[in-house]
Structure 1
């Protein structure tokens, strides 16, 4: 597929007004991407676990308007109008107008809410932008007026295109959003040994995954719920002149190859080593850019050391990963859940802001409501 394949030919149907609603989850990358080219293209491939409980629910209401001269929309979070969200949506609409030519024909009301606490330090851009992209694709599907007499194979191809284009659009809003539509493992970025992988959208990981990685758990420790002092967009841009950038991009390619073997064999020890190394490398890139910055907090490091000590003492298969922030994602197999939740409550909660954490697990993507 290329960008050209996502440009609509014509809309054969006409709709005056209506609404669509989708829920879409967040995701946590195992092999990280850090650094972007133009048009939200990643400098290296990444792979993520799709989450189940941390999700955004978005309802998109639309009504035809007289003049098609500009975008017209309003945004609500938890029933409260949020004009400070509008610039990001405006930028998103500008980027995707070429691929959804109906955008200026409607006034949109975007109503959104998250299942995780607002300002919890969990990035909602992945879940939010993917949910919005899916709502817009639902409208386009109605405007295209797909023939209801399609046979099973044609319908399957149509559904595949729908998800691919929704992921493609979501990427133009937030890079990692393209990994939130499906599950349980999604790859984004061209990788020579992963069939179907592309820089344009996320694809379901196509190979066998060992039972060890089924029903994996993710408890998210909320270390710092404040706004990051450096946004991810700024951080990505600092990779352009980073002295270690090219080696990092090669490392990510190599680690994704290694992870494919690990996922097939079920090697939990190798999984732990690779995932934790990736998390620390992400933050090492931040600390060695110019200007440099640190998003980890003292309590992030306390938690990491506690996890290492617990793993050494108990031979647990617990590990951590980090996003571009201070919070810690604690990953572990389902069969260790009871013991690890005890460990979290006994030893890690004190390092969380107001003792807050979220229990999550691997999920399987977005759902239309």
Structure 2
């Protein structure tokens, strides 16, 4: 198990003047939610997520050695156009990770990034974006240090991604990823995400996630602000304990494939996340009326058909509809017949469990 100090390099064996790398990294959807954090992007409670496949960020990183090494130097393109309002977040990210990547001020970077889904609409675009950038940075470090092991590469990438956006550490590698120290999950860490190490029942293989785009606009309260409001939250400590308890329950559920119990945990976690928002001070509500209409329709459909479909939510209004692959035709028909009318411009995204970041040659 690596510690934070293990990721601070002593020296590099190679030099490189210029080049480029390109990676895609997916979003992820938490089943047990992380809400609230300590200093240095450390989570207040552990979380576990499904890695997605289609909702991803594709980032190309070009780099060239520069003479003046006193400052960070980078250009940022989002969907082919300069994006000045993203630059402060990237600059802060570079400041946080410089101790782990001491070469950062030696290069000028051009970061060219594109999403396959709407930015800032509750599909964790910061998670996929920061994960993709971290993978590129690690490719550059590996070029400087070719002896680096694969385990070190991915765990450090996850650590770097976390320093950009907490949940980004769950988008690096694995289908089911745990982030945060949990006593009954071997190798779990607050520093980086790890692949869930225990047995996973066939019921959860190729699990489906159809994302209903209720509101594609930017959230009125950012996740960063929401996390900060947990510091003085009256229910924070009980919530953190509940997350540990629910993760314990999921260990058993993943092993025995009990979809009924899975649904209870996942839907309860989604509602608890938003309950924390509604009971903070100041309080806020990110779900929309159509979010509630969809939830009620899912409950009725599940009760009528006994098909094990459920919902979860991230920090936004959009609804993730989760269901086994074998039920895909019936659930998609239900979505088209009854749910698309609640979506903005009738839009939704079909996704499923994926494997993490992929280098584009």
Residues 92-107 of structure 1 correspond to what in structure 2 (within 5 A)?
A: 92-107=93-108
Identify which of 277, 283, 287 aligns with 1:286.
277
CA distance in 1, matches of 2:187, 2:119: 35
Alignment of 1:357 onto 2:348: yes
The residue aligned with 1:207 is 198
Is 2:319 aligned against 1:328? Answer: yes
TM-score by length of 2: 0.98
Distance in 1 (CA, whole Å) between partners of 2:125 and 2:315 is 13
Distance in 1 between residues matched to 2:206 and 2:358, nearest whole Å: 19
SS in structure 2 opposite 1:110? strand
User: Following the alignment from structure 2 to structure 1, what is the Cα–Cα distance between the partners of residues 133 and 208?
Assistant: 27
Instruction: Identify the residue that residue 149 of structure 1 maps to in structure 2.
Output: none
1:120 and 1:276 map into 2 onto residues whose CA distance is 20
How far has the Cα of 1:241 moved from its partner? Answer: 0.3
SS of the equivalent of 1:129 reads helix
Report the equivalent of 1:62.
63
Q: What is the deviation of 1:56? A: 0.6
Alignment of 1:26-105 (within 5 A): 26-105=27-106
Report what 1:262 is aligned to: 253
Counterpart secondary structure, 1:203: strand
**SS of 1:329's equivalent?**
strand
Q: Equivalents in 1 of 2:15, 2:323: separation in Å? A: 49
Q: 1:145 to 1:213 in 2, by over 3 A?
A: closer
The runs of 5 or more residues in structure 2 that have no matched partner are none
Aligned with 1:276 (options 264, 267, 272): 267
Contact 1:276–1:319 (CA under 8 A) maintained in structure 2: yes
Deviations 1:224-249 (A, max 9, x none): 11111110000000000000000000
User: Does the 8 Å contact 2:212/2:319 carry over to 1?
Assistant: yes
Q: Give the CA RMSD over aligned residues.
A: 0.9
Q: The residue matched to 1:116 in structure 2 has which SS?
A: coil
Q: Is the 8 A contact 1:121 1:222 kept in 2?
A: no
Q: Could you list the runs of 5+ residues in structure 1 that have no partner in the other structure?
A: 147-154
User: What is the deviation of 1:83?
Assistant: 1.2
Cα distance, 1:229–1:120 mapped onto 2, change above 3 Å: closer
Write out the 4+ residue segments of structure 1 that deviate beyond 4 Å after TM superposition. 118-121
Cross-structure match for 1:348: 339
**Contact 2:131/2:171 (<8 A) preserved:** yes
Q: Are 1:183 and 2:171 an aligned pair?
A: no
Deviation at 1:79, TM superposition (A): 1.0
Deviation at 1:168, TM superposition (A): 0.2
Determine helix, strand or coil for the equivalent of 1:140.
helix
- 3-state secondary structure, aligned to 2:245: helix
Q: 1:118 to 1:198 in 2, by over 3 A?
A: closer
Deviations 1:44-65 (A, max 9, x none): 0000000011111110000000
1:365 aligned counterpart, secondary structure? coil
2:14 counterpart residue number: 13
Q: Cα offset for 1:78?
A: 1.4
Distance 1:117 1:247, change over 3 A: closer
Output one character per residue of 1:173-215: Cα deviation in whole Å (capped at 9) or x when no partner. 0000000011210000000000000000000000000000101
What SS does the corresponding residue of 1:86 show, helix, strand or coil? Answer: helix
Aligned equivalents of 1:292, 1:121: Cα separation in 2: 18
CA deviations over 1:98-135 (Å, ceiling 9, x no partner): 00000000000000111224465423101110000010
Matched residue, 2:154: 163
Q: Does 1:124 align with 2:133?
A: no
**Matched residue, 2:295:** 304
- Looking at structure 2, the residues matched to 171 and 184 of structure 1 have their Cα atoms a distance apart, in angstroms, of 18
Q: Secondary structure at the match of 1:223?
A: coil
Distance 1:201 1:295, change over 3 A: same
CA distance in 1 between counterparts of 2:277 and 2:206 reads 32
Q: Secondary structure at the match of 2:326?
A: helix
Question: Aligned with 2:37: secondary structure?
Answer: coil
What SS is found at the alignment partner of 1:107? strand
